[in-house]
């Protein structure tokens, strides 16, 4: 069967790059090994050549480096791709081209994305009482793609001419909104709720003080460290409140909210008292909805947007609004009936979430369950409000405490915008059709977010409603938001893409990573709505159609027996097949309903930067590395492919997807390494239970810990597992992370999937 892949002519010894021309010249035996398939690692390594300073381009946006390549952007009029990244760096002239290629035109938007140390935050400008300059017809904001006239400008989006009356029009050409792809403007009162400037946002922390939070050690640990953690609130922060919800039914009164410095003595005293007061607590039942309601009321009463950070250990079964029942639907996972398990028990949590959005309040859930806690229902509080869910199943302060504290510290110090309304505008002829992310919509154009933080993205798919007549198409995202200092601002993000009817161009400028993020989100949605069989068929067919059209339009002469892949999309089959293997998609009864829903929620707002390692994990050999005292690590170990075929059992590896981190130790790993890193003489003596890597003062241990430190920030504080070859955890690790291999009956290996896609392509063409 495999010979069908390359037809009679082929079998390729060295494969990169996947170029049909070199490919046709190669002859040999028709045997396929993973070595001849397009390699994600090779592509990632090749792209390192683009690391360093990178210019965003003008007038047209340049295709950005891969997310794995460390680069820093210079804004030339198009925004940093961390803010907006599109599946195509060209816009087809007609919708017919998109339909024929099946390539989506979708933009992943992360308006407050985390930048690296070499990148500057978009500057803030104040245009005074005049406020922002906008097109009188389509309301697009002034940007580098407007045509400036004497006392007017012509809109790049809709071509309408708008007169400008401002006195300093002579200085117009130096204005930042005419130069930059990303910038902030101070909003005038007309952009504020009720026409009034907002107050500073506030943080409210609500802690479960039931017996459960004592027995797992969460509450004492948190009380002991919270003051230190709160010092990391965003630097612009002015406000902080804390409350314990001993009497959560009692509405709070205004005046509770204090600036951090004033709150500190009371906070310190409360944190010292809480463990004492509640240490004898026998209560194991808790409430949740009234707690969130009380928090929302408190913030509303204080007339502030903000964040509720809620710590909860158990399903809210106590007799109060939002009381939930335990249910065990684990057996439904991975079956046709699965979606039944994802339906909220009741919609009151969703409705409360919507109320929160209206007041600019986000709910973060930090969950510490030992059993079912119904993420599908209570998670709506975060899903609707743009919050985050952190889940510490079977939490133990000893094993997970440090990770939890780091996670919390990192979370509260994130860049964050409150009370946001976002709108995406495009050139006449195209428009956003669908949106994916954590937001609330009352009409078909405005997205309301209680908050957007630096790790969150939303996605929009754009479609044609006419043939494009211009040479370029524009996309502008405007986010009206309240900053941490309580200033109402607008963030404007701009992108200009060339318009083409050339299929070669369309394929050449497809961004494989934005496309993967789009497909992952679509897969989660389809899997939830239609079930896994239909989802897989839909994505595979799309993948095959994309590649079949490439053949038809761009490489007509090639024999049918050959699989021809466009250079930009040569990894698409690998990534699609990896998406199918993701736990959020294919997780069965080996995982819990809560875990699966949690992962689905995580993906909903995931940035492309986090999607890629999540779909194709980083695997790197580590046991050869040593760092002597005072020596710095120069570069990370070279990646190897995510397949057991590439793991050498005389070595140890780090395997990472941004959420979990495995240290895999081959059975024949050198004894000196095992001794140096774990302080034991054989692999079978390694403590694999604790998930801890001991701190030892030697070159091997130092190297391992340093590499872990140097890993790009994951979407979560990674949970670490130590796995020795052939131990109990290994099959799980392989299924989860070695995505090139076959895993279970339902999932194909990379090779098999490529054969399968090739067959589909042949069927489409013939």
Contact positions toward Zn ion, by CB under 5 A? Answer: 135, 137-138, 140, 155, 157-158, 160
In terms of CB distance, is 91 or 287 closer to Zn ion? Answer: 91
Question: Tell me, what DSSP letter sits at residue 427?
Answer: -
CA gap 585, 565 in Å, rounded: 26
CA gap 15, 36 in Å, rounded: 5
CA gap 190, 195 in Å, rounded: 5
In terms of CB distance, is 158 or 708 closer to Zn ion? Answer: 158
Which backbone phi and psi does 61 adopt, to 5 degrees? -70, 135
CA gap 112, 738 in Å, rounded: 32
> Can you read off the two tokens belonging to residue 19?
């170029």
In terms of CB distance, is 146 or 381 closer to Zn ion? Answer: 146
420-442 residues labelled b (16+ CB within 10 A) or e (exposed): bebebbbbbbbbbeebbbbbbee
Smallest gap from residue 445 Cβ to Zn ion (A): 15
In terms of CB distance, is 476 or 683 closer to Zn ion? Answer: 476
CA gap 360, 163 in Å, rounded: 35
Of 716, 745, 741, give the one whose Cα is nearest residue 614. Answer: 716
Smallest gap from residue 464 Cβ to Zn ion (A): 18
In terms of CB distance, is 474 or 576 closer to Zn ion? Answer: 474
Which backbone phi and psi does 459 adopt, to 5 degrees? -130, 140
In terms of CB distance, is 160 or 409 closer to Zn ion? Answer: 160
Where would I find the H helices in 433-511? 503-508
Say if CB 274 and CB 237 are below 8 A apart. no
Of 588, 583, 590, give the one whose Cα is nearest residue 728. Answer: 590
In terms of CB distance, is 140 or 229 closer to Zn ion? Answer: 140
Smallest gap from residue 444 Cβ to Zn ion (A): 19
Half-sphere exposure in the Cβ direction for 499 (13 Å, CA): 19
In terms of CB distance, is 138 or 308 closer to Zn ion? Answer: 138
In terms of CB distance, is 158 or 748 closer to Zn ion? Answer: 158
Say if CB 616 and CB 739 are below 8 A apart. yes
Say if CB 496 and CB 147 are below 8 A apart. no
Say if CB 464 and CB 98 are below 8 A apart. yes
Say if CB 201 and CB 307 are below 8 A apart. yes
CA gap 713, 73 in Å, rounded: 19
Of 579, 585, 648, give the one whose Cα is nearest residue 619. Answer: 648
In terms of CB distance, is 161 or 765 closer to Zn ion? Answer: 161
Smallest gap from residue 312 Cβ to Zn ion (A): 47
In terms of CB distance, is 159 or 742 closer to Zn ion? Answer: 159
Say if CB 363 and CB 381 are below 8 A apart. yes
Helix (H, G, I), strand (E, B) or coil at 678: helix
């Amino acid at each position: 069967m495999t010979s069908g892949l390359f037809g009679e002519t082929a079998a390729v010894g060295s494969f990169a790059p996947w170029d049909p021309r070199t490919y046709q010249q190669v002859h040999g035996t028709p045997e396929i090994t993973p070595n001849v398939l397009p390699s994600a690692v090779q592509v990632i390594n090749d792209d390192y050549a683009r690391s360093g300073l990178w210019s965003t381009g003008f007038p047209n946006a340049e295709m950005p480096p891969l997310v794995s390549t460390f680069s820093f952007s210079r804004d030339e009029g198009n925004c940093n791709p961390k803010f907006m990244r599109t599946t195509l760096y060209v816009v087809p002239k007609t919708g017919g081209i998109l339909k024929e290629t099946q390539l989506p035109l979708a933009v992943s938007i992360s308006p407050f994305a985390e930048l690296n140390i070499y990148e500057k935050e978009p500057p803030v400008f104040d245009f005074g009482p005049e406020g922002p300059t906008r097109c009188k017809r389509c309301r697009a904001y002034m940007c580098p793609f407007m045509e400036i006239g004497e006392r007017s400008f012509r809109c790049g989006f809709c071509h309408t001419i708008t007169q400008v009356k401002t006195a300093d029009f002579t200085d117009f050409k130096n204005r930042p909104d005419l130069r930059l792809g990303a910038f902030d403007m101070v909003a005038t009162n007309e952009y504020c709720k009720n026409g009034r400037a907002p107050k500073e946002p506030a943080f409210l922390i609500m802690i479960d003080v039931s017996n459960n939070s004592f027995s797992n050690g969460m509450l004492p640990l948190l009380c002991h460290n919270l003051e230190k953690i709160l010092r990391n609130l965003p630097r612009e922060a002015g406000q902080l409140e804390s409350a314990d919800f001993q009497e959560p039914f009692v509405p709070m009164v205004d005046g509770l909210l204090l600036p951090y410095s004033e709150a500190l003595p009371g906070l310190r005293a409360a944190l010292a008292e809480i463990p004492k007061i509640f240490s004898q607590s026998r209560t194991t039942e808790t409430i949740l909805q009234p707690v969130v309601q009380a928090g929302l009321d408190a913030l509303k009463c204080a007339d502030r947007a903000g964040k509720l950070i809620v710590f909860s250990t158990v399903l809210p079964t106590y007799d109060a609004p939002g009381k939930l029942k335990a249910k065990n639907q684990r057996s439904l996972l991975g079956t046709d009936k699965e979606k039944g398990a994802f339906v909220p028990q009741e919609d009151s949590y969703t409705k409360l979430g919507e109320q929160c959005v209206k007041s600019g309040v986000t709910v973060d859930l930090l969950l510490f369950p030992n059993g079912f806690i119904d993420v599908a229902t209570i998670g709506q509080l975060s899903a609707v409000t743009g919050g985050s869910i952190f889940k510490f199943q079977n939490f133990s302060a000893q094993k997970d405490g440090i990770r939890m504290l780091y996670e919390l510290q990192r979370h509260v110090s994130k860049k964050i915008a409150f009370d946001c309304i976002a709108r995406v505008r495009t050139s006449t002829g195209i428009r956003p059709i669908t949106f994916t992310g954590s937001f609330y919509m009352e009409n078909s154009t405005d997205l309301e977010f209680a908050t957007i933080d630096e790790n969150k993205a939303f996605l929009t798919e754009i479609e044609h409603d006419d043939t494009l007549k211009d040479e370029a198409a524009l996309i502008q995202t405007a986010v009206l938001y309240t900053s941490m200092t309580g200033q109402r601002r607008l963030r404007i993000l701009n992108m200009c893409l060339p318009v083409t009817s050339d299929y070669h161009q369309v394929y050449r400028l497809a961004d494989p990573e934005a496309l993967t993020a789009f497909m992952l989100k679509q897969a989660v949605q389809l899997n939830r709505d239609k079930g896994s069989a239909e989802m897989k068929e839909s994505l595979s067919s799309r993948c095959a159609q994309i590649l079949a059209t490439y053949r038809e339009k761009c490489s007509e002469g090639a024999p049918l027996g050959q699989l021809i892949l466009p250079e930009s999309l040569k990894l698409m089959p690998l990534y699609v097949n990896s998406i199918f293997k993701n736990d959020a998609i294919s997780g069965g009864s080996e995982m819990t309903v809560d875990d699966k829903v949690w992962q689905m929620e995580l993906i909903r707002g995931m940035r492309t930067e986090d999607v890629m390692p999540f779909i194709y994990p980083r695997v790197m050999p580590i046991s050869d590395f040593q760092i002597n005292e005072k020596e710095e690590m120069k570069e990370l170990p070279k990646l190897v492919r995510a397949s057991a075929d590439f793991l050498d059992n005389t070595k140890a590896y780090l395997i990472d997807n941004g959420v979990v981190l495995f240290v895999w130790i081959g059975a024949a790993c050198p004894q000196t390494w095992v001794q140096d890193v774990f302080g034991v003489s054989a692999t079978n003596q390694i403590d694999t239970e604790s998930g801890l890597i001991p701190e030892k003062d030697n070159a091997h241990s130092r190297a391992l810990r340093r590499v872990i430190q140097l890993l790009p920030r994951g979407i979560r504080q990674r949970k670490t597992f130590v796995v020795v070859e052939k131990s109990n955890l290994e099959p799980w690790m392989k299924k989860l992370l070695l995505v090139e291999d076959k895993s279970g009956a339902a999932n194909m290996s990379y090779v098999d999937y490529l054969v399968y896609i090739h067959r589909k392509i042949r069927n489409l063409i013939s």
